Amino acid sequence: MREPSDPEMERAGVDGQVKVSVIVPVLNEAGIIRDALSALSRLRGDYEVIIVDGGSSDETWQLVSETISLVPAYRLISSPVGRGNQLNAGVAVARGQAFLFLHADSLLSESAIQSIEHALEQPEIVGGNFRLEFEGSEFSSAIFTRLNSIRRWFGIYYGDSAIWARREIFERIGGFTAGSLMEDYELCRRLERSGRTVCLTEPVVTSARRWRDHGVIKTLIIWILIQWLYLFGVSPVCLARLYYPRRSRVLSLDSRVSSLKS
């Protein structure tokens, strides 16, 4: 495991607190990471970017380190595998007044940071997310976009909609769980109970690669099944074997190691 303090890889930002820390967990994203970093560089506002690698076996680490080597506000660290672990690791080194948790395959509007900055001026707002859109012109993308919009009316949203939270609120509600799945749902529920949240109007456009790879019907069935199994108390580690079949051995091993350390 690469150490987060590696001086050749971690690039410290300027002194002082920034408004927003954008935290991006990655694992074997060599195919898209350069485009993701390029999109982040176009954001407007006061922000830093922290890439948290969960132990990629492809060229993700090398590509990120090469791309950000001359950008002081970008950092690359490593953490144990698992999105919750990686996001918490990013928070541990973040300097922002607010944290924005972004998937590597999700693209923000250029004004997204400025919208969060504006929301931070309203003390009653504790956090929220962005209006989620799935890429592509397929009917399935439109359907999934609409379903997520309806779900947001009930205060339910997930990490692909770019969840964000004030630093003090995130710390108060305990951060992300270390589970292998549903860590974003858990944070969303606690965030909703902590105060007023907002769904910012700028879209975050996320990849449709899961149902393109596995099929629309199968993906929808798995989503529904995972949600209900979770509500009935099934372990996120078990659910991860269903959602991440190729990663399940790694995630399960990491969960066992974490339990031995605790």
| Confidence band for 218, pLDDT divided at 50, 70 and 90 | confident
Q: Give the domain CATH number at 118.
A: 3.90.550.10
What Å distances lie between residue 140 and 133, 147, 214, CA to CA? 11, 10, 13
Phi, psi (5° rounding) for residue 196? -80, 130
Asked if residue 224 is part of any domain, the answer here is no
Q: Please give the tally of structural domains in the chain.
A: 1
Asked if residue 80 is part of any domain, the answer here is yes
Q: Is the pLDDT higher at 238 or at 74?
A: 74
* pLDDT exceeds cutoff 90 at 11: no
Task: Give the tens place of pLDDT for each residue, 153-202.
Answer: 888 888 999 999 999 999 999 999 886 677 898 899 999 999 999 999 99
Handedness of CA 249, 35, 40, 9 (dihedral sign): positive
* pLDDT exceeds cutoff 50 at 4: no
Is this model's pTM higher than 0.85 or not? no
pLDDT at 187: 94
* pLDDT exceeds cutoff 50 at 2: no
Are 106 and 163 contacting, i.e. CB atoms less than 8 angstroms apart?
A: no
Q: Residues 136-154, buried b or exposed e (16+ Cβ, 10 A)?
A: beeebbeebbeebeeebee
Are 77 and 60 contacting, i.e. CB atoms less than 8 angstroms apart?
A: no
Asked if residue 218 is part of any domain, the answer here is no
Are 39 and 107 contacting, i.e. CB atoms less than 8 angstroms apart?
A: yes
Asked if residue 254 is part of any domain, the answer here is no
Token digits of residue 148? 């997520």
* pLDDT exceeds cutoff 80 at 69: yes
Asked if residue 87 is part of any domain, the answer here is yes
Asked if residue 201 is part of any domain, the answer here is yes
Asked if residue 237 is part of any domain, the answer here is no
Please give the share of the chain, as a percent, with pLDDT higher than 90.
56
What is the rounded (10 degree) CA torsion for 110, 113, 117, 123?
120
Instruction: Write the secondary structure of the chain as one string of H (helix), E (strand) and C (coil).
Output: CCCCCCCCCCCCCCCCCCCEEEEEEECCCCCCHHHHHHHHHCCCCCEEEEEEECCCCCCHHHHHHHHHCCCCCEEEEECCCCHHHHHHHHHHHCCCCEEEECCCCEEECCCHHHHHHHHHCCCCEEEEEEEEEECCCCHHHHHHHHHHHHHHHCCCCCHHHCCEEEHHHHHHCCCCCCCCCCHHHHHHHHHHHHCEEEEEEEEEEECCHHHHHHCHHHHHHHHHHHHHHHHCCCCHHHHHHHHCCCCHHHHHHHHHHHHHHC
Asked if residue 15 is part of any domain, the answer here is no
Task: Give the tens place of pLDDT for each residue, 35-51.
Answer: 999 999 999 999 999 99
* pLDDT exceeds cutoff 90 at 250: no
Question: Domain range spanning residue 90?
Answer: 20-208
* pLDDT exceeds cutoff 70 at 81: yes
Task: Give the tens place of pLDDT for each residue, 104-142.
Answer: 999 999 999 999 999 999 999 999 999 999 886 677 677
What Å distances lie between residue 93 and 23, 73, 197, 211, CA to CA? 10, 12, 25, 34
